[in-house]
Structure 1
Amino acid sequence: MSLKLGAGLLAPLFFSCSARPTAVEVSPADAESRLNEARVVRLRPVDRELRERAANARGPGSGADPWAIQPLLGTGRARFVGLLRGLSAVVLLDDELAEVARAPAPAGAMGLAVSEDAIVVAGELSPEVRVFAVERGEQLALKSTLRVPDADGFRAVAIQPDGTLGAVDPRAERLRSLAASQWRRAVGTQDVVAAATPICRGAFEVVAAPGAFAVACSSGHAVDVVRTGRSDSAPVRINLDGPFFGVTAAALSPSVLTVAAGAVEDHPLDRTQGSFGFVDSFVYVARVDLATGGVTRRLSINVSELGIVTPKVLHLSPSKDELQVAGYGTPDIVTLALSDGRQLSREPSAPGARAVAQTGDRRVFANPLLDAWVSVKGGRTRVVPVAGADVLPPRSDAHRVGEALIYTTLMAPWNKAEGRLSRFTCETCHFEGGTDGRVHHTGRENVHATTKPILGLVNNRPHFSRALDGDLAELAMNEFRAANAKSEHDPYFAVSGADAPWLSHLGVAGARSAEDLRIAFMTYLAETPFRPNGRALRRSQQGGRFSESERRGAELFKQRCEGCHQAKLSSDGSERVPFEQWERYVLSADGPLVWADARYEKTGIVPYVHERGARVPSLRRVYAKWPYFTNGSAQSLGSVLEQVRIDEAGFRHDARQEAGAKGTLRPDERDALRAFLELL
C-alpha cells in the first residue's frame, strides 16, 4: 500500500525578534501528537456536517443486504433461493443469479431454510414464519403464515431431515421448534404453539442435523447443541472465551455429530501493549456424542495465520475429509483437512461472505458487504449485484468504503498473527456493530471494561466510557492508530485500487488518501444507527400506546433514572424531550432517544475507568447490551434493577458493595421499569 508518512524528528520554531532563527528540538512523540491534532482539526468540519445531516434526515441504511442463500431442490428455471434483509424479501435466482421471482418476507428477514417441498423464511423483527412453495419452477407461492405469539423475532431457521423446524429467538434466548405435522400441513395464517428450549445469549445462527440443532451465539460465547426427541432438553454446550462468528454441523453416525465453528481466539483479549492481542480468528472442530452429551475438541486452527478473518461461512464435507472456510473480513476461501487441519487449497473470492450455497464444485455466496451474490468456480469469481436495490436510498462512496474499513482488514492491512499479535477487524470485538459479551482488561491498572457498540455514535458523544474521544474526528484518528499498533506501519496511509481490487465491486474507483479513509470511517459510523427494536416497532404499528406496566415504568424512570439517563436526541445537547412525548418517540421505528448525558458520574461501579467515574452511558437498545455496567457485574436487567440504592447519600448502582445493603426498588417497581427499558 502507498503510505503518507507522518511527522519528522524536528519541528523548527522561529522567533521574528531574533537575529538568528533557532531550531527548537521536539521529540518524535510531540511532533506526531501535533501533526495528529492538525489532522483532527481538518476533520472537524466533516464531523459537524455529519451531525447536522443526522439530526435532519435518516441515514441511507445498509443496502439490500443479501443475507442467506441455499440451493433449490427440484427442477425448473430457479436454482437458488436467497434472502434480502434490507428489502425484507425472499427471491428465486436462476443459474446465472438473475432474479426470477420475489415475495415479501417477515420484517428484518434473516432466517432461511429449504426442504424438498418448502421454503421457510423468518425475520428478526417479526414473530411470524412464512412457508412458501415453488410453482412451475419459477414462481413463489405463499402457503402459510405461522405466528408464534410469545416470540419476539427469529434470526435463523433450519429443518431437520425428519421435518422438525427450529427457529432461533435470540431476545428470548430460546430455540423454538415445530414438528413437521405442525407446519407442513398448515394453510393460511394461524397461531402456533412452539416448543421452547433455553439457549445461549446472542444466538444468531442455527444448522440442522439428524436429531439435533447446533446454535451459535456471539455474546454468549457458545455453541449449543440441542438434541431433539428427548425428555432431557438441556443443550450440550461448547464454550470459548469470546464470540462465535459462524457454525456448521454434519452427522458422522446416528449418535455422533461433527461441529465446526468460526470464532475468536480462545484467550482473553490483551490490551497491555497498547494493541489488540490474542484476537486472531480460529476454526474449532469438535465431536458431540448425542447419546451421552460428551464433547471432544478435535481441532483448533488459527485461520488468521492463513489470511482468513471473521470466518462466518463454513461447509463440511466429511466424506472428503474437507472443511471449506470463508471470512467476512478477507477475500479468500480455504479448504482444510478435517483430519489434521492442513490447508489443502485456496481460492480467490471477495470479503463479505455471509452464507453459501454449494452445488458440486461451485459456491454461491450471499454477500451483504458488496450487496451482491458472488459465484466462485474453478478459480473464477463473478459478482452479481442484487437486482431492484435502486428503490433503497443511495449510499455514498464514503459510506461504502467506511463499511469496508470496519468489517474487513482494509483498516489494518499489515497486522500479523504472531504470538500475542493478531490479525482482526473491528467486527472481531463488535459483532455486526454491536458487542461481544466480553469484559476485558483495559491495560490500565486493574480496570476492566465491557465492549460498547459502535452503532448510533453520531448523537452519543463524547464516545465510550472514558469519554476521551470528543467527536468522530478524534475517534477516527485514535481507532486507526490503535488498530495498527504493533504493525510496524504508519497508520496514516492511503489505499489504491491495486491494494484492494475488490473495492471496484463497491463502485469505488481511484485512490483514497489517508484523510479520505478517515472521512469514510466517520461517515459510516454517523449514518449507521441501531437496528430497530422489534418489540417497539410492532407496538408502533398497533396504535403506539404504552401498556399500563410500561407507563408505570416510564413514570418511575422519570422519577429515579432520567436525571442521568436523559431523554435527549443528542447526549451532549441541552434540550430534553418532555415526558408527554416519550411514548411517541419510544414507540417509533427509529427509537431515536439516546437516554444518556455527556457528563461523568460515580455510581459505585468500580474500579472507575476515569478519575471522574464513567460517562453516563446510553440506554438505547439496552436489552442487547450484555453484560451490564462498565465492569460487566450485572448479568441481566433484573440484576441491574435489584442493585439500585437510593437514599440520602444519593443514587448508587451497586448496593452489594455495602454490608447488609438492599436494593431500594420494590419487585413491582422493578417489573414496571424493566417493561419500559425493554422498549428503548
Structure 2
Amino acid sequence: MRALLFLLLWIIPATLFVPAAQGEQALLFSPRLAAPRGEALQPISPATGLDPELVQLGHDLFHDTRLSRDDTISCAHCHPLESGGMDGLKHSFGIEGKEGVINTPTVYNTSLHFTQFWDGRAKDLETQAVGPIHDPREMGSSWQEVLPKLNADNALKQRFIRIMGGQASVERVVGAIATFERSLLTPSRFDRYLQGVEGQLTPQELRGYKLFKDYGCASCHQGRGIGGNMYEKIGIVHPYFTSDKRVKKADLGRFNITGNPDHKHEFKVPSLRNVALTAPYFHNGAVKTLEGAIKLMGYHQLGRTIRPTHIADIATFLHSLTGEHPELAKEATP
C-alpha cells in the first residue's frame, strides 16, 4: 500500500508512444527531450559556500591513516573517491584485516541524506565521522589516541589553529571531515535534463527513466538524493529473508537501533546517484550487477516481474546518474 501511494503521488501521466525501429513500441518523451515539470527526482548543482581551506583540511584528514590505531587505515581506504566513493567489496576490511559486517555505502552526496549509515544511527555527517574511528573492525582507535598524534604534527596543528581557531579537537576533526564530505556533490547529465537543458539524455535513457517511474521505483528513490531520505523494509511485497537465508544481526537494520519489531529488515533507502559505480548492491553486498538489483527490487519491493528489455533500459537510465566531481574524475587519470 505504501508503495502504491507513493506511485500515485509521483508518477507522471503516460507519455507519447512512437514506433520503435524494429516494429516494437518504445516509450519516449516528446522530441524536445527536456524534463517535464513536477518530477519526483530533483536536480542538484555543485556544492557552494564552503570554505576551501576547511574543505582541503577535511580532505587531508579523510586520507590520514593516523585516525586508525595502527596508522594503516584512512577513511579513503573504504571510500576511495576515484572509484565511486566505496571500495567495491561485499564487506570492507579494517585494521589487521578485520572484515566488516555490512556493505560500505558511497560517501558521495551523503550530505543530501536525512540520516547516515544503513540503519540511520547517525543524525548527521559529524556524528557519522566518529563511528569508524572507534569501530574495532574499522579503525579501532579512540580520540585519546588520535588527537595527540595529530597535534604532534606541528604543521597540521598550525593549520587547525589558522583555519578553525585551535588545535585538533574532536569537534574540529569531525567538523573538517564533514565539511569535506559536503563538498562531494556529483551533478550529472540527468540533473541538467531536470533543469531543462535539452539533449542531455538518449532515447534509451529516457525510456528507462519513464519505466523507472511507471514501475514505481520513484516511490522510494526520489528527491535530490534519488534516495537517502526515508527508511523502507527490504521485502515489502515478497520477503527477502526466507527460511533458506541465514539472518545475521546486520540484516535486522533499524531494529538494532530502535528495538522496535516493526523496524526489522528496515534500512535507509540508498541513493541511486553514481549507482553504476557502486556494486555490489544492497546492505549485504549480495548482488553483483545493476541489472540483478533491478530485477530483485522489482520482485521484492514492487511485486513486479520486470521484463529483460525494461531492465536494460532502466539500467541505462541509471548510468546517466553517474556524476561529475574533481575527485571522481581522477579515476580516468593514468
TM-score range, shorter chain: 0.5 to 0.7
Q: Distance in 2 between matches of 1:507 and 1:56?
A: 33
Residue 556 in structure 1 maps to residue 188 in structure 2? no
Match of 2:277 in 1: 624
The equivalent residue for 1:602 is 234
Counterpart residue number, 1:615: 268
Matched, 1:398 2:54: yes
- 2:210 and 2:189 map into 1 onto residues whose CA distance is 22
Residue 411 of structure 1 pairs with residue 59 of structure 2: no
SS in 2 for 1:450: coil
| Cα distance in 2 between the residues matched to 1:450 and 1:605 | 17
Is the Cα–Cα contact under 8 Å of residues 605 and 630 in structure 1 kept in the other structure?
no
For residue 550 of structure 1, report the CA deviation from its aligned partner: 2.2
1:275-296: CA deviation from partner (whole Å, max 9, x where unpaired): xxxxxxxxxxxxxxxxxxxxxx
Within a 5 Å distance, the mapping from 1:465-480 to structure 2 comes to 465-480=118-133
Structure 1 residues 609 and 545: alpha-carbon distance in aligned structure 2, compared to 1, 3 A threshold: same
1:501 has 2:155 as partner: yes
Q: Which runs of 5+ in 2 are unaligned?
A: 1-42, 242-246, 256-262, 322-334
Distance change >3 Å, CA 507–CA 466, structure 1 → 2: same
8 Å CA contact 1:539, 1:545 repeated in 2? no
Indicate the residue corresponding to 1:202 in structure 2. Answer: none
Deviations along 1:360-414, whole A, 9 cap, x unmatched?
xxxxxxxxxxxxxxxxxxxxxxxxxxxxxxxxx88444322211211112434xx
Deviations 1:39-91 (A, max 9, x none): xxxxxxxxxxxxxxxx998425xxxxxxxxxxxxxxxxxxxxxxxxxxxxxxx
Q: Take 2:89 and 2:153, find their aligned partners in 1: how far apart are those partners?
A: 33
CA displacement, residues 240-283 of structure 1 (integer Å, 9 cap, x when unaligned): xxxxxxxxxxxxxxxxxxxxxxxxxxxxxxxxxxxxxxxxxxxx
TM-score by length of 2: 0.61
Provide the residue aligned with 1:439 in structure 2. 90
Equivalent in the alignment of 1:670: 311
Residues 1:596 and 1:454: Cα distance change in structure 2 (over 3 Å):
closer
* Higher relative contact order, structure no. (Cα contacts within 8 Å, ≥ 6 residues apart): 2
- Counterpart in 2 of 1:426? 75
| Residues 1:403 and 1:600: Cα distance change in structure 2 (over 3 Å) | same
Q: Give the conservation status (yes or no) of the 8 Å contact 1:429–1:435.
A: yes
Distance in 1 separating the partners of 2:100 and 2:56: 35
Contact conserved, 1:411 with 1:480, CA < 8 A, in 2?
A: yes
Partner of 2:293: 640
Report the count of equivalent residues: 248
Deviation at 1:557, TM superposition (A): 1.1
State the Cα distance separating 1:426 from its structure 2 match: 1.0
The one-letter amino acid of 1:501's match is A
CA contact (8 A) 2:110 2:181 kept: yes
- Structure 1 position 677, deviation (Å): 1.1
In the TM superposition, residue 453 of structure 1 has moved relative to its aligned partner by 1.2
2:290/2:315 contact within 8 Å kept: yes
CA gap of 1:491–1:458, structure 2 versus 1, over 3 A, is: farther
Q: Label 1:596 to 1:487 Cα distance change in 2 as closer, same or farther (>3 A).
A: closer
Residues 275 and 318, structure 2, Cα contact 8 Å, conserved in 1: yes
Distance across 2 between alignment mates of 1:543 and 1:619: 22
Instruction: Provide the rounded CA distance (Å) in 2 between the counterparts of 1:562 and 1:394.
Output: 31
- Tell me by how many angstroms 1:441 deviates: 7.9
What CA distance in whole angstroms lies between the structure 2 residues aligned with 1:650 and 1:435?
Answer: 25
| Residue from 445, 451, 468 that aligns with 2:104 | 451
Match of 2:39 in 1: none
Q: What TM-score do the two structures reach when normalised by structure 1?
A: 0.32
- In 1, distance between residues paired with 2:161 and 2:44? 27
Residue by residue, what CA displacement relative to the aligned partner does 1:93-134 show, whole Å, maximum 9, x if unpaired? Answer: xxxxxxxxxxxxxxxxxxxxxxxxxxxxxxxxxxxxxxxxxx
Residue 475 of structure 1 deviates from its aligned partner by: 1.2
Partners of 1:491 and 1:556 in 2: how far apart? 52
Name the CA distance, whole Å, in 2 between partners of 1:489 and 1:472.
17
Structure 1 residues 220-240: Cα deviation after superposition (integer angstroms, max 9, x where no partner)? xxxxxxxxxxxxxxxxxxxxx
Contact 1:430 1:453 in 2 (8 A): yes
Given that residues 596 and 616 in structure 1 are in contact (C-alpha distance below 8 angstroms), is that contact kept between their aligned partners in structure 2?
Answer: yes
1:490 is aligned, of 112, 127, 144, to 144
- Distance of 2:307 and 2:162 partners within structure 1: 57
1:602–1:541 Cα change, 3 Å: closer
C-alpha displacement of 1:512: 2.8
d(CA) in 2 for partners of 1:491 and 1:675? 47
Deviations 1:491-513 (A, max 9, x none): 67367764252566899576233
- Would the alpha carbon gap of residues 491 and 533 (structure 1) be closer, same or farther in structure 2, given more than 3 Å must change? farther
Provide closer, same or farther for how the CA distance between residues 551 and 538 of structure 1 changes in structure 2, counting only shifts above 3 A.
closer
Report the alpha carbon displacement of residue 628 of structure 1 after superposing the two structures with TM.
Answer: 1.6
CA RMSD of aligned residues (A): 4.0
Provide closer, same or farther for how the CA distance between residues 462 and 504 of structure 1 changes in structure 2, counting only shifts above 3 A: same
Give the secondary-structure state (helix, strand or coil) at the position aligned to 1:434: coil
CA distance in 2, matches of 1:524, 1:447: 24
* Paired residues for 1:140-179 under 5 Å: none
Deviations 1:594-653 (A, max 9, x none): 33432131225554241432221111111111112222222221222333444xx8626x
Question: Given the superposition, is the C-alpha separation of residues 410 and 500 from structure 1 closer, same or farther in structure 2, using an over 3 Å criterion?
Answer: farther
- Structure 1, unmatched stretches of 5+, are 1-54, 61-392, 417-421, 570-592, 653-662
| 1:519 Cα deviation from its structure 2 partner | 1.4
2:170 is aligned with 1:517: no
Aligned AA (2:76):
E
CA distance in 2, matches of 1:650, 1:482: 32
Partner Cα distance (2:228, 2:140) in 1: 35
What secondary structure sits across from 2:91 in the alignment? strand
User: Contact 2:59 / 2:177 at 8 angstroms: preserved in 1?
Assistant: yes
Contact 2:118 2:283 in 1 (8 A): yes
CA distance in 2, matches of 1:527, 1:644: 30
Shift of the 541–552 alpha-carbon distance from structure 1 to 2, 3 Å rule, reads closer
* Whole-angstrom distance in 2 between the partners of 1:429 and 1:447: 10
Say whether the 8 Å CA contact 2:193–2:200 is kept in structure 1. Answer: no
Q: What CA distance in whole angstroms lies between the structure 1 residues aligned with 2:92 and 2:50? A: 40
What is the rounded CA distance, in whole Å, between the counterparts of 1:605 and 1:404 in structure 2? 40
Per-residue CA distance 1:447-503 (angstroms, 9 max, x = gap): 942211112111112112121112223213323333886447626736776425256
Between Structure 1 and Structure 2, the one with more strand by share is 1
CA distance in 1, matches of 2:252, 2:316: 30
